[in-house]
Amino acid sequence: MAVLGQNAYHTETVKIAVKRRPHVNYFLTEEQTMIRDLAAQIAREKIAPRAAELDESGEFPWDVVETMGKSDLYRVFIPSEYEGLGGGCFEMCLAVEELSKACGGIALCYAASALGTIPIILFGSDEQKRKYLPRLASAEIIAAFGLTEPNAGSDAAGIKTTARADGDYYVINGTKQWITNGGEASIYTVIALTDPTRGVRGSSAILVEKGTPGFEFGKKENKMGIRASATRELIFQDCRVPKSNLLGKEGMGFLVAMRTLDQSRPGVAAQAVGIAQGALDKAIEYSRERQQFGKTISSFQGVQFLLADMATQVEAARALTYAAARAIDGGEKDVSRMSAMAKVFASDTAMKVTTDAVQVFGGYGYMKEYPVEKMMRDAKITQIYEGTNQIQREVIALNLIKESVRGAARAASGGNGSATAKK
Amino acid sequence: MKVFVCIKQVPDTTNVRINPETNTLVREGVQSIINPFDVYALEEGVRLKEKYGGTVTVITMGPPQASDALREAIALGADNAYLVSDRAFAGADTLATAYALACTVRKLGGADVILMGRQAIDGDTGQVGPGVAENLGISHITDIRKIEEIADSRIVVERLLEDGYARLATRLPVVLTVVKEINTPRLPSLKGKLAAKKAEIPILKASDVEADVERLGLNGSPTQVMKIFTPTRPSGGKKFTGEPAATVGALLEELTSAGISIRKSGK
Amino acid sequence: MDPIRVITQNCVGCKLCVKSCPFEAIALTGPLVQGRTDRNTAVIDLGKCTLCGACVEACKRYNAIVITRRTFKGQDLSQYSGIAVFAEHRGGKVASVVPEIIGAARELAKQRSCTVSAVLVGKNARALTDELLSYGVDEVWMIDNTDIGDFDEDVQADLVTEILLEKKPEVFLGGGTVIGRSLLPRVAARILTGLTADCTELSIDPETQLLKQTRPAFGGNIMATILCQNHRPQMATVRHKVMTPAEKVASPQGKVVELSHIKVPKSKLQFLEFVEEKTATVNLVEADVIVSGGRGIKDPKNFDIIEKLALATGGAVGASRAAVDAGWIPYSHQVGQTGKTVKPTVYIACGISGAIQHLAGMKGSDMIIAINSDPNAPIFDVAHYGIVGDLFQVVPELIRRLETPG
């Protein structure tokens, strides 16, 4: 170091690891740290400066998507055979959390593409994967997932969109609602009924490309929050797609949907954790600057306790999120309970923490010029989409009860589930 | 097209502060970074490669830790890197540094375009670029804000001056020092970072680059630091009250005696 | 041998060297001090040491630290005398920094009892000699040739080198301009002598008669004084507006020495065109100097004195939220919690009260100057210098002072 005068050679070797990680150490691998730090850098340098402006205009941030693509973020969760980096849910969550700290809406442009990519990764044929994954990995194109309909939200089984077989094609008719990345994505996984008589068991997952005749988009929704992300209706009117676009087999539609959502749900949790952390950081900073009654408001126990609770809850949400992600990546068979718990707790935490953050900012927090009201508006959706928190609670409860039933049955049959008769 | 980029690992001087009690540099939390101007040079080098084909080689003269900067450069798109490191280089001023770097470039087979930032943020001299060119016996142009085109070994550039810019042309090879107006550097990519992690960075010693030891390091440096001191800094809050002519005069006098000029100066 | 070492027999473990080292490169981890069991001698970490010599200075009493310097052979010092300056010019005009370096040169010449010369090369150079002589130079060493274009730096470097080798001045000064900072390093590298950039102070050491070159480092956090002991000429560049310009002499006595015997080579650089640009909107966040206006500006049309002051300081225009909200200036200029965060070298706050939200955006500035009519304005708590007064009187006065030379 030291260039005093012009002694140019000796560069100081102080490589202080500036501790920017205030929270618990998750002992990430070097690659995971790379992903997290790069996402954090993009968040800090490219997203944070644009967040307020894009929230206002609702314009889709293609330039940020391009930057994230060039940095290989979209490559993270795609298998290496298809030009991905072979990371899993955990790595994707690392990226989503960091991006969300700067803006939950822009982060969603990344996370929703992951949601649309996962069906292809899980159920696509080699040919389908080869066709789409490399381009998704480089973010040359982005993806979207279409399940929800105007009359089928929580009751996803109530979908009405049909995909009638006609020779080598499916003809799709129906409407999907509130689809994130709708209109911007190039490839859509659409869940439609190939056999309406069989109800849910008659649904299939079909890939539809933007630009296919008969596939239109509704107007862009004007949302409360996550406004930088694009939300549109998908309108299918006699839209013909080749049968080769079917993912997996006919009748697997719901399975595709459920498995996909299980895998992506920790991503929503990670988004919520990121939004909450971002709000918490701002609140702490502000509390140290704002002075009333001759001292900083961080001196008041009321504020201190609020901040402490906020931080503890964010930490707990984070732990649940990454535990669920790890379980998924580890190949755990039944991940729905963990995944649901992570999502419900993280999103409720995000709502509470962002609301409290606005409170800490006081009157200023209510003003659009300060960043926290946006975070509160952004947080709300995490309690609603990808399965409302009410549905999540039902999933958790049913899962608990099922397990209890299984446990009792095991005990009744003499332990270990072995078929030995009662002694 | 063979592009060389000379980079320097520097402390993040925007964060460097003097501890007023001990008069020492406070190094807590000061990161080592690639000299920001060199990042722009590297970006330009990678863009030249993308446009004209070829390779981008990064070199730096520094202690072993400078290889971190080289890895960062690989993550940003450089193809390969060399660390020029030897105790013999210690204490080098810009003359000795330019000499060492020129020997390295020569030893590595020369280049078509040698890029570096206009100055390093710790030394701020801007002298190494012209020095390298002189040692290699090739042209140099400083303060490049745009490379317009390269065709048939002829390069056309825009050079930023205080009051505008000049369009100049010359034949390759050439040393160019760049200003920040030239481009917007890309962010590192994950694939780049993974490659950087695996990259083998050869260390070149004085003998490897066939440098005359007499011209290296402290002994190769005509200039030497005689003394360092902390400048008289304002210790917060000197208020001037009175007639504008008097207060303004007093303020300017204070600033001058503290060695600070707020007059518009040339870049 | 290591360039720096501790003579353990002389070291008493007093720690003065440890305290003096700005790089924490010294620790008392060596063998025990002779005759003591409680103190160790100093050890220098060569990985951190920059050979700045602060410890040698600190250890004057015991002389336990030695820096061995055997610089490569320089020039025969006895052959060199005189102070020379580079007469930079472009477009038929002498660069504005030149009178200032002549001023500095004349001061040095007084201390050295020697002459001041100007090195002038270019096409139609002779048109500039009168002006140079009017600043009191003793000789103008000139090469006037149509083959020396304003931007033919390679030719200029060749010629300046030849002139310096022939005339042998002891000191050669140039401006820290774009051209100066490109040309002089090339010349120094060719002659193999030392060059110090951007000096803020130049003086002759009374003892050694060497040129003491002082300059800032680390963004100005530290000042270094540099010597060029064994090589000539001792070269330095000086930035515009740092030194005092030379006063013109009533009846110039100097003469022009035309060095037409020096061959002018052809340039390898081709000049295509020069495009003039009014100072492009200086990027607010990158600016070294920012002049900001706040509520005290009172009226949009008054913002022009902020712009004028910004122009006079070569800085960017900033504003507080109050001014932006009032519609006096676009949001892109806003500095503060909800505007831009800036860290300039100098921040001049005019009519800004210093609300915490504004401070959040600029409190990292190296130097804060505040101008406000309210002596109790919070801005004065963070300002390094403050002027209590009516900004509509103070700012124009400041502009006037900055625009007049001297």
Give B116's strand partners. B177
* CB-based contact, B215 to chain A, within 8 Å: no
- B225/C226 touch (CB, cutoff 8 Å), yes or no: yes
Tokens representing C50 are 């920059």
What are the C-alpha distances in Å from C277 to residues B164, B165, C273, C288, C304?
4, 7, 13, 19, 21
Q: Is the pLDDT of residue C381 over 80?
A: yes
Segment C23-75, tens digit of pLDDT: 778 999 999 998 889 999 999 988 778 787 888 888 988 999 998 877 888 88
For residue C311, the distance in angstroms to the closest alpha carbon of chain B comes to 7
pLDDT, one tens digit per residue, over A90-132 is 999 999 999 999 999 999 999 999 999 999 999 999 999 999 9
Q: What are phi and psi of C380, to 5 degrees?
A: -65, -20
Of A13, A290, A369, the CB nearest to C47: A13
Average pLDDT, chain B: 89
Confidence band of B122 (pLDDT split at 50, 70, 90)? confident
- Beta-carbon contacts of residue C6 (< 8 Å; ≥ 6 apart): C30, C41, C42, C43, C44, C64, C65
User: Which residue, A136, A386, A157, is CA-closest to A261?
Assistant: A386
Indicate yes or no: CB of C223 within 8 angstroms of CB of B224: no
Q: Which residues contact A86 (CB under 8 A, 6 or more apart)?
A: A78, A79, A80
Please tell me what DSSP assigns to residue A221: P
CA-nearest of A131, A248, A231, A128 to A185 is A231
The reply to whether residue A8 touches residue B63, judged by beta carbons under 8 angstroms, is no
- Is C53 within 8 Å of chain B by CB? yes
Stated as kind and residue range, the H or E segment containing C58 is: helix C54-58
Question: CA nearest B212 in C: which residue?
Answer: C72
What is the nearest CA distance from C206 to chain A, expressed in angstroms?
21
**Chain B residue numbers touching C349 (CB-CB < 8 A):** none
Q: Which of C49, C195, C241, C359 to mutate to test the interface with B (most CBs of B within 10 A)?
A: C195
Query: For B93, which of C2, C194, C289 is closest by C-beta distance?
Result: C194
Residue B92 C-alpha, separation from nearest chain A C-alpha, in angstroms: 5
What stretch of H or E contains B33?
strand B32-34
CA distance A136 to chain B (A): 15
Q: How far is it, in rounded angstroms, from Cα C176 to Cα C181?
A: 5
Q: Percent of chain C, pLDDT > 90?
A: 62
Beta-carbon count within 10 A of C345 CB: 16
Measure A31 CA to nearest chain C CA, in Å.
30
Closest CA to B97 of C188, C356, A327: C188
ipTM of the complex: 0.87
A293: how many CB neighbours lie within 10 A of its CB? 8
| B144 Cβ contact list (under 8 Å, min separation 6) | B157, B158, B159, B160, B176, B177, B178, B179, B182
Domains identified in chain C and CATH numbers: 4-67 (3.30.70.3270), 77-258 (3.40.50.620), 284-403 (3.40.50.1220)
Q: How far apart are CA A389 and CA A342, in angstroms?
A: 11
Cβ pair C52:A10 closer than 8 A = no
pLDDT digits (tens, 9 = 90+) for C163-217: 999 999 999 999 988 999 999 999 999 999 999 998 989 999 999 999 999 987 7
Residue A49, chain C, CB below 8 Å: the answer is: no
C48:A12 CB<8 A: yes
Q: Which of C271, C384, C390 sits opposite B234 (nearest CB)?
A: C384
Q: Which residues of C touch B214 (CB under 8 A)?
A: 72
Instruction: Compute CA distances C394 → A104, A346, B54, C299, C316, whole Å.
Output: 47, 56, 58, 17, 19
Q: Are A357 and A281 in contact (CB under 8 A)?
A: no
Apex CA C28: angle with CA C25 and CA C30, to 5°?
105
Nearest CB partner across the interface for C23, out of A2, A5, A369:
A2
What phi, psi does A253 have (nearest 5°)?
Answer: -50, -50
Q: Classify residue A362 by its DSSP letter.
A: T
- Confidence band for A406, pLDDT divided at 50, 70 and 90: very high
pLDDT digits (tens, 9 = 90+) for A337-386: 999 999 999 999 999 999 999 999 999 999 998 999 999 999 999 999 99
Closest to C147 (Cα-Cα) out of C10, C268, C43: C268
C209: buried, middle or exposed (CB in 10 Å: 19+, 13-18, 0-12)? exposed
Query: What pLDDT is recorded for position B29?
Result: 67
Both tokens assigned to A391:
């549905």
- Of A13-27, A182-196, C171-185, give the lowest mean pLDDT range: A13-27
Chain C neighbors of B267, CB-CB under 8 A: 177-178
The CA distance from A99 to A35, in Å, is 11
Is residue A386 annotated as part of the catalytic site, yes or no?
A: yes
Cα angle, residue A69 at apex, residues A66 and A72 outer, rounded to 5°: 155
Q: Specify the 3-state DSSP secondary structure of C13.
A: coil
Strands, E assignment, C137-210: 139-144, 171-175, 195-199, 201-204
How close does chain C come to A380, measured CA to CA in Å?
Answer: 24
Q: What's the rounded Cα separation, in Å, for the pair C165 and C180?
A: 19
Rounded to 5°, angle at Cα A60 from A216 and A217: 10
Please say whether the beta carbons of C209 and C69 come within 8 A: no
List C-alpha distances in Å: B19 to A403, B230, C14: 63, 10, 21
**Among the ranges given (A314-323, A341-350, B194-203, C381-390), the one the predictor scored with the smallest mean pLDDT:** C381-390
C touches which chains (3+ CB pairs under 8 A)? Answer: A, B
Structure confidence at residue B145 (pLDDT): 94
Query: CA nearest B108: which of B140, B77, B79, B87?
Result: B79
Q: Which residues have C-beta within 8 Å of that of residue A221, sequence separation ≥ 6?
A: A178, A231, A232
pLDDT > 60? residue B235: no
In angstroms, the CA A46 to CA A228 distance is: 14
Contact A324, A335 (CB under 8 A): yes
* E-assigned strand segments in A84-214: 143-146, 162-166, 169-180, 187-193, 203-209
The two structure tokens encoding residue A294 = 């001759």
Q: Where are the alpha helices (DSSP H) in A163-300?
A: 253-289
The pLDDT confidence band at residue C160, using thresholds 50, 70 and 90, is very high
Is A398 in the C-facing interface, judged by CB distances under 8 Å? no
pLDDT range class, residue C219, cuts 50, 70, 90: low
Query: Which of A10, A11, A36, A70 should we substitute to test contact with B (largest number of B Cβ atoms within 10 Å)?
Result: A11
For chain B, the chains sharing at least 3 beta-carbon pairs closer than 8 angstroms are: A, C
Residue to mutate among B190, B193, B215, B228, with most A CBs inside 10 A, is: B190
Of A2, A290, A291, the CB nearest to C50: A2
DSSP string, A270-291: HHHHHHHHHHHHHHHHHHHH-E
Put simply, the answer to whether A2 touches C47 (Cβ < 8 Å) is: no
Tell me what the mean pLDDT of segment A322-331 comes to.
96
| CA nearest to B127 within chain A | A6
Of all helices (H) and strands (E), which one includes residue A309?
Answer: helix A301-329
The verdict on B246 touching C (C-beta cutoff 8 Å) is no
Residue pLDDT, tens place only, C295-325: 999 888 889 999 999 999 988 999 998 888 7
Is the pLDDT assigned to residue A40 strictly greater than 80?
yes
pTM summary value: 0.81
**A interface test, pick of C196, C338, C340, C359 with most A CB neighbours within 10 Å:** C338
Contact B90 A9 (CB under 8 A): yes
Q: Indicate the residue of A1, A7, A30 with minimum beta-carbon distance to B11.
A: A1
Given a contact cutoff of 8 angstroms between Cβ atoms, the answer to whether A282 and A307 are in contact is: no
Report yes or no: A292 at the C interface, CB cutoff 8 Å.
Answer: no
Q: C305: which 2 tokens?
A: 């004195």
The token pair at C288 is 């070294």
Coil, strand, or helix at residue C320? coil
- Give me the DSSP letters along A85-107: ----HHHHHHHHHHHHHH-HHHH
Cβ–Cβ contact A168 with C under 8 A: no
DSSP states of B207-224 as a string?
Answer: TTTT--GGGSTGGG-SEE
* Cβ contact A10–C222 (<8 Å): no
* DSSP states of B224-239: EEEEEE------S-EE
Interface contact flag, B222 C71, Cβ < 8 Å: yes
pLDDT in tens, B164-201: 899 999 999 999 999 988 999 999 999 999 999 999 99
Residue B172 and residue B112 in contact, taking contact as beta carbons nearer than 8 Å: yes
Structure tokens of A160? Answer: 């009405």
The count of C-alpha atoms lying within 13 angstroms of the C-alpha of C105, restricted to the half-sphere facing its C-beta, is: 38
Strand, coil or helix: C314: coil
Q: Min CA distance, A419 vs chain B (Å)?
A: 52
Whether chain A has a CB inside 8 Å of the CB on C271: the answer is no
Residues of A in contact with B127 (CB under 8 A): 6
Hey, which residues 182-201 in chain B have their CB within 8 Å of chain C? none
In this structure, the dihedral spanned by the alpha carbons of residues C48, C53, C58 and C63, taken in order and rounded to 10 degrees, is 110
3-state secondary structure of C290: strand
Contacts of C48 in chain A (CB under 8 A): 1, 10, 12-13
Which residue of B122, B254, B263 is the best one to mutate when testing the C interface, meaning the one whose CB has the most C CBs within 10 A? B263
Domains by residue range for chain B, with CATH: 2-215 (3.40.50.620), 237-267 (no CATH)
How many angstroms separate the Cα of A290 from the Cα of each of A281, A303, A318, C360?
Answer: 14, 12, 29, 11
pLDDT band at residue A166 using 50, 70 and 90 as cut-offs: very high
Instruction: Give the distance from residue A49's alpha carbon to the nearest chain C alpha carbon, in angstroms.
Output: 9
H or E stretch including C307? helix C303-313
> Chain A residue closest to B61 (CA)?
A9
Contact by Cβ (8 Å): B131, C146:
no
Give the number of C-alpha atoms closer than 13 A to the C-alpha of residue A58, restricted to the C-beta side: 11
Out of A97, A386, A394, A403, pick the active-site residue. A386
